Amino acid sequence: MKYTTLPNTNIKVSKICLGSMTWGNQNTEAEGHAQMDYAIDQGINFIDTAELYPVPATAEMSGRTSNIIGTWLKKTRHRDKVIIASKIAGPGDYTAHIRTTGFSPNAIKEAIDLELKRLQTDYIDLYQLHWPERDTNRFGIRNYEHDTNWKDNFNEILHSLDTSIKEGKIRNIGLSNENSWGTMRYLEESKKHDLPRVVTIQNAYSMLTRTFETDLAEVALRENVGLLAYSPMAFGVLSGKYVKGNAADNARLKLFPRFARYSGEKAAEATKRYLKIAEDHGLTLAQMSLAFVNQQPFVTSTIIGATNLEQLKENIDSIHVNLSEEVLDKINETHSVMPNPAP
């Protein structure tokens, strides 16, 4: 395994982060525990969850993923061996079953306290805002529509998080599904008012979705805010199983076809081109896809997700793959012809 540190901290994390959003839905508690056992044995020390998980989000299953991590922590007593990241859900129709108060001070306090109980721990190493409160381009939305009803509350949010840091409940803070303006506003507020500084941003990034490079990559590098890249496999599309027609019946996009972000014709065509590059160079598409993300200078850790141990092994092994300049050039040639075919 390879390691780095969360920016502006002394917290060492593995370059591969174990994602968990299938645990409690597609995966049982026993399977989630087995994945964590295997990941720890391979040197992974970084686990990401959220109060929203598992996905798809429902009132019946909300928080179940974190409960699974909590029972594993209690059973193994491995709390000192892992860095735990979690998130407070943003507002929206699909989170009304959690709360409708956004990132108000009481909401942040409640969310953290409940998550600590589920995780059966006294502290969370990295606490993230799952998506912005204001309506903006997130989750693949490309056409910006200005939200005139939103009231600026960056300072209030940072003060609330600062209270939880001082209480010892969380150690560091991060963003997720945020854009450049929002990221810079948080950085500005923390600098002006001596408030906690965001250390990471968790956004989608893969060969099919490289919009992070448009302007957030420069923010990440110049401001030292590390990307935690999620969906590096584009919901499994970049395994090649869908274009090959051999996806199992329990594959994510077969179970939940409404998650169509990476399922369009252009994304399929781009995937076929990337598959050929991988095969021409003796690589699996999955490992080429993950290695591409791992090698980006603005990426602090790549969040992988798997529904079985075979997939998990292949994903983790990608850390040992170093793409040559020739392969990277071929990937970039395809990207120049078909840029960001998935939003």
Is residue 130 within 8 Å of 94, Cβ to Cβ? no
Q: Give DSSP secondary structure letters for 279-317.
A: HHTT--HHHHHHHHHHT-TTEEEEEE--SSHHHHHHHHH
Length of the chain: 343
205 is a catalytic site residue: no
Catalytic residue, from 53, 186, 230, 274: name it.
Answer: 53
Q: Any bridge partners for residue 172, and if so which?
A: 126
Q: Which amino acid is at 33?
A: H
Q: Give DSSP secondary structure letters for 21-83.
A: TTBTTTB-HHHHHHHHHHHHHTT--EEE--TT-SSS--TTTTTHHHHHHHHHHHHH--GGG-E
DSSP structural state of residue 226: E
- Local structure of 184: helix, strand or coil: helix
Contacts with 35 (C-beta within 8 Å, 6 or more apart), sequence order? 18, 23, 27, 306, 309, 312
**335/207 Cα distance (integer angstroms):** 8
- Give catalytic residue positions: 53
